[in-house]
Structure 1
Amino acid sequence: MRDVSIIGIGQTPVGEHWDKSLRELGFQALQAAMNHSGVERIDALYVGNMLSGELTGQEHLGALIADFAGLRGIEAIKVEAACSSGAAALRVGYMAVASGLHDIVACVGVEKMTDQQSDAVTSALATAADAEYEALQGLSFVSINALLMQRYMHEYGYKKEDFANFAITAHANAMNNPYAMFHTPITREQFAAAKPIADPINLLDSSPIADGAACVILAPMAIAKEFTSKPVRVRAMAIATDTLAVHDRRDPLYLEGGAISAQKAYAVANVGPSDIDLFEVHDAFTIMSALSLEAAGFAPRGQGVRLAMEGEIGLNGRIPITTMGGLKARGHPVGATGIYQIVEVVEQLREEAGANQVKNARLGMAQNIGGSGATVVTTILERL
């Protein structure tokens, strides 16, 4: 197996792109990454996407984007793993380069969600849950996460306001990210007074639906310096799964897929949680931030919220998270989110995060979660 590096990144602003199609967004991110790396031709294209068929009536995205980008003839496929589709596409690209099958690979995450009304988007997102035992009973992802949050608060004695700093930190960091959807800080008082959605989750607990696309270019480490003076090594990647339905799990408050994927990644990288300088969590809801921090070993069970309460998740904290706004404030175009996370970790490790730069960042980690934890992809990147 060959060492793999990221030699180029690209992204579009996250937002409501009513004037751009799915293929245009994917192409813009791909073009930006190719320009960034200086690559003129790629061997393969892997596209992470969750909802194109449901929301745009368009499947077959690999060939669609390859053709639109003038790359007709290359290997190109779509990869789907619910909200972890972006990182799953990266995993496929990583395996292609590491195995020697391809040398230069592009991994694009793209999603177009805002052209549909919210009830249609909610129904489409629910396809990542258990269709017979969750979605058919009327459970949406907001309500599933609300049940998890209720149980967490009951088990560990937290109050609703204890989760506030997850959202406040994300919005503060997004202020300096030109690609983020929201550039407005929020206060603890605004968090407490936000519109309820599904008790105890309110609007400011939740990431927004959005359009966007991001891309990374992969190459073997042996030739990476031919394209960039600052390649970032993919130190480890791991995917693990759990049940789709939360009620089928051994413990609903334990992201077993997250824990397994994190432990596998740590083992491959020969590091532990204390070695990680920043962690891009999948903060689709504030409760997921807490559960992900615990699953990845940054906090004991029931103590993930305490990291937020004690200010340990800020840019100067013990484990900085959502360093460019996260899903909450950068936005959550679901199939693209995993690639946005990787782009943001690369920016940190290349020391190109501007005012949000985490000092002396050498190892960065991202965890991209599909569904309510049924598929979890953990990636560790290293500055060389």
Structure 2
Amino acid sequence: MAKRKRKLGRGVAMVGAGMSPFGIRPDVTNRELFAEAFLDMKASVDKGVDPQEIEALYVGNCGAEMWESQSVIGVLCASEIGLTPRPALKVEDACASSSVAVREGIIGIASGLYDMVLAGGTEKMSVLPIDWTTMALACGSDTTYESSAGFTFPGLYASMATAHMEKHGTTHDDLLKVAIKNHSNGALNPKAHFPMTIKDVMNMRIAKAKEKGGSVPSWADELEFLNDPRYNPVIAWPNTLFDCCPITDGAACILLVAEEIAKNFTDTPIYIIGTGQASGHNLHDRETLTSIPAAQVAAEQAYEMADVGPQDIKIAEVHDCFTIAEVMAIADLGFFKEGKEAATAAGEGKTARDGRRPINVSGGLKCKGHPVGATGAAQVVEIFQQMRGEAGQRQVTNMDVNLALNHNIGAHGTTAVVQIFERR
């Protein structure tokens, strides 16, 4: 059968976007987190919006059944924010849950079924001990061949990292420089889980050592600090503590409307011009350990639909659950060549906020946090703010951010979603 070019049945735009503060939030439930994001989104709509105009709700959520012993999160969120009796759907696709939810919202409008939908995600992860949470997250891997053999996600991504080192000569310092870069960005994000640079963390450790009156470490710089196993222990080699994203509570949501009514809500809508989604094999059954084929397929779909290429994208929010994940992402998306070029991009400043291809100016999952069911939507919130010049201190200023992309991975690459956004 001949290949058919995918296209949206009609144009779709974002007119509002919001998120809750990310972090450890013992005071709130999933639905309350989502309500915070909803109110933040509502405040972002320049000309105002009547929530009663919203026709459907798509909520990404990965594990409320495990973390809160609660299902039907979509319905509960609808009730919390006053959207009943509109249809409300919970979407689960591991860490890509809310990107899939946003994509389903886009499709709902593009099909002509709806004119306005709310799409996003929420996750409350901090309620269980860390070993239980690790087990809950491992449900996203293949329980027959991977987690049952002892693999956790730090271990699965460690396998990818060591394969990358073996094949391309990537060093652990290359990966640690991704963490340094993303913390530099996230320190400027008031809603980040850890709004601090690696240097801030290093200085805190020095101050604490002085308080105790013992030996005071004397690291030359952040990289030397990160190479000290006393303060940055190995989780699953080569993944150390600072190679890993945190366990986070948080929510985010996007208001999507048909393109023809977008200017009723704002003079600066952000248009969705490309969307792609693909599935992939689990790691034990994959032909490569140094890239994520599903991400390459999803990116190809999105680029083709948008009629643009990697060279046209100004900024991107990519899935950096571990530092190696960002290295693979920027190659899978075509921004850098797979291998050493992608691995050294952060250290050479190419992906910095003022670099030629800013990546994860929000701080990424690494610093902003990774509430798995909300992560993709939170990436889109950052893109919405950056494209409208509303990102505060972390605003990219060395280019016109008129084209942007989000890349969200489910599990270890079994799902991938890529979406492309335009400001006209």
Taking structure 1 as the reference length, the TM-score comes to 0.98
Q: Which residue of 1 aligns with 2:226?
A: 191
Give the match's secondary structure for 2:273. strand
Match of 1:258 among 295, 315, 320: 295
* 1:164-199 CA-partner distances (Å, limit 9, x unpaired): 221111111111111101122112222222121111
SS across alignment from 1:197: strand
- Structural mapping, 1:226-305, within 5 Å: 226-243=264-281, 245-302=282-339, 303-305=341-343
Tell me, in whole angstroms, the C-alpha distance in 2 between the residues paired with 1:304 and 1:226: 42
My pick for the range that moved more, 22-31 or 339-348, is 22-31
Quote how far apart the aligned CAs of 1:92 are.
0.6
User: Would you say 1:213 and 2:248 are equivalent positions?
Assistant: no
Q: What's 2:136 paired with? A: 124
Report deviation, 1:158: 2.1
Amino acid at match of 2:396: V
The amino acid across from 1:191 in the alignment is L
Query: Structure 1 residue 107 and structure 2 residue 119: aligned?
Result: yes
SS in 2 for 1:314: coil
Q: Give the one of 32, 36, 39 matched to 1:28.
A: 36
Identity of counterpart residues, as a percentage?
39
**Cα drift, residue 105 of structure 1:** 0.4
1:352 aligns to 2:352 (yes or no) = no
| Contact 1:30–1:108 under 8 Å retained in 2 | no
Matches within 5 A, 1:91-102: 91-102=103-114
Corresponding residue number in structure 1 for 2:372: 334
Query: For the residues of structure 1 that align with 2:354 and 2:29, how far apart are their CA atoms?
Result: 39
Alpha-carbon shift at residue 309 of structure 1 (Å): 2.4
Measured in 1, the distance between the counterparts of 2:176 and 2:170 equals: 12
1:52 maps to amino acid? A
Secondary structure of the corresponding residue to residue 24 of structure 1: helix
Q: Does the alignment pair 1:362 with 2:362?
A: no
Matches within 5 A, 1:78-89: 78-89=90-101
In structure 2, give the amino acid aligned to 1:39. V
Q: What are the superposed Cα offsets for residues 215-241 of structure 1, whole Å, 9 maximum, x if unpaired?
A: 100001111110112110011111011
Letter in 2 for 1:90: V
Deviation at 1:250, TM superposition (A): 1.6
Provide the aligned length of Structure 1 versus Structure 2: 383
**Please, which moves more after superposition, 303-312 or 213-222?**
303-312
1:39 counterpart (49, 52, 59): 49
Give the corresponding residue for 1:374.
414
Counterpart amino acid of residue 296 in structure 1 = L
Distance 2:370 2:334 in 1: 24
User: Who is 2:11 aligned against?
Assistant: 3
Q: Which moved more, 1:86-95 or 1:187-196?
A: 187-196
Structure 1 runs (4+) deviating above 3 angstroms are none
Correspondence for 2:151: 139
Q: Which residue of 2 aligns with 1:200?
A: 238
- 2:21 corresponds, among 5, 13, 16, to 13
Q: In 2, distance between residues paired with 1:266 and 1:319?
A: 17
**One-letter amino acid of the counterpart of residue 158, structure 1:** T
**SS of match in other structure, 1:334:** coil
d(CA) in 2 for partners of 1:167 and 1:376?
A: 22
Tell me, in whole angstroms, the C-alpha distance in 2 between the residues paired with 1:230 and 1:189: 45
Structure with the greater alpha carbon radius of gyration: 2
Question: Within the alignment, does 1:164 sit opposite 2:164 as a pair?
Answer: no
Matching residue of 2:74: 62
**Residue identity matched to 2:226:** F
5+ long unaligned stretches in structure 1: none
Between stretches 28-37 and 228-237, larger displacement belongs to 28-37
CA distance in 2, matches of 1:338, 1:345: 11
- C-alpha distance in 1, partners of 2:364/2:226? 17
- Measure, in 1, the Cα distance between the counterparts of 2:196 and 2:354: 21
Specify which of 355, 366, 371 is matched with residue 317 of structure 1: 355
Q: Distance in 2 between matches of 1:346 and 1:36?
A: 10
Unaligned runs of 5+ in 2: 1-8, 199-221
State the Cα distance separating 1:352 from its structure 2 match.
Answer: 0.7
Separation in 2, partners of 1:226, 1:288: 39
Return the alpha-carbon distance in structure 2 between the equivalents of residues 301 and 108 of structure 1.
31
Q: Contact (CA 8 Å) 2:23, 2:250: kept in 1 or not?
A: yes
Contact 2:159 2:289 in 1 (8 A): no
CA distance in 1, matches of 2:30, 2:175: 34
Q: Secondary structure at the match of 1:373?
A: coil
Q: What amino acid is the match of 1:55? A: W
Task: Find the aligned partners of 2:360 and 2:224 in 1 and give their Cα distance.
Answer: 21
Counterparts of 1:220 and 1:201, CA distance in 2: 43
Shift, 1:36, TM fit: 2.5
User: Once structures 1 and 2 are overlaid, which stretch shifts more, 208-217 or 291-300?
Assistant: 291-300
- Aligned: 1:154 with 2:166: yes
- How far has the Cα of 1:31 moved from its partner? 2.6
Q: Report SS of the residue matched to 2:227.
A: helix
